[in-house]
Structure 1
Amino acid sequence: MKEFLHDNRVYYNPIEFAMAHIGGTWKMPILISLRNGALRYADLKKTIPHISDKMLFTQLRELENKNMITRNTFVEKPPRVEYQLTEKAEKALPVIDQLTEYGTALMEEVGIG
């Protein structure tokens, strides 16, 4: 395969490019948490209690920059912010579901499921 450049980064295959969008420890759990609708930061944090505030904030920004989620600010007192999936992220959910099934099977295979 040939290499290609996007956002000043060289990618060598489509999997590497896809993982830049949804890969890592936290992005997929965040996307899964948002699959049923928009959530506020505190509610999202409750769905992933073992993530630090700094990491959640960083991952939300990265997902927003990759157009995987939107951040909606409501001008209220106090201000309210909600995060929700974009159409681009909705397309990734079946892939995430397959990875979840595969990971579950691997865990069962080694006796930790």
Structure 2
Amino acid sequence: MKNNKEIVHCFVDYGFKRIGGKYKGRILWVLKGGVLRYGELKRAIVGITPKMLTQTLRELEADELVHRKVYLEVPPKVEYALTTTGKELIPFIEQLRSWAKNQMEQKNIT
């Protein structure tokens, strides 16, 4: 949520505005394992374009869910990690994953 004055209708709305979208949850899930560089994230998130990965990482950083660390070297080295707030979301993503797995098994979706 880049703008703290943005209108939200309820707590659920606020939560989904911060982690909703096609890639945010997937990026948070991949980062639960620890620090990753941009290229590692790009390989881990199937189907994401470089532009969308950069945009989504910036949004997660602005929402203080992901920390970006830049090393001053050539070529540039950038690492991404979950913030404390981002780590708080992992149990909820795990629950969502478990629910989705059960649903997919019930519906024979592979």
Which TM-score applies when normalising by structure 1? 0.90
2:79 to 79, 82, 93: 82
Task: Give the corresponding residue for 2:24.
Answer: 27
**CA RMSD across the alignment:** 1.2
Q: Deviations over 1:52-92 (max 9, x none)?
A: 11111111010000000011000112110011100000000
Q: Deviations over 1:28-75 (max 9, x none)?
A: 110111111111110001111211111111110100000000110001
Task: Give the corresponding residue for 1:9.
Answer: 6
Where do 4+ consecutive residues of structure 1 move more than 6 Å?
Answer: none
Which structure would you say has the larger RCO, counting Cα contacts within 8 Å and 6 or more residues apart? 2
Aligned equivalents of 1:57, 1:79: Cα separation in 2: 15
Aligned equivalents of 1:106, 1:76: Cα separation in 2: 47
Task: Give the corresponding residue for 1:93.
Answer: 90
1:64 to 50, 56, 61: 61
Gaps of 5+ in 2: none
Which TM-score applies when normalising by structure 2? 0.92
2:108 to 92, 107, 111: 111
Percent of aligned positions with the same letter in both sequences? 36
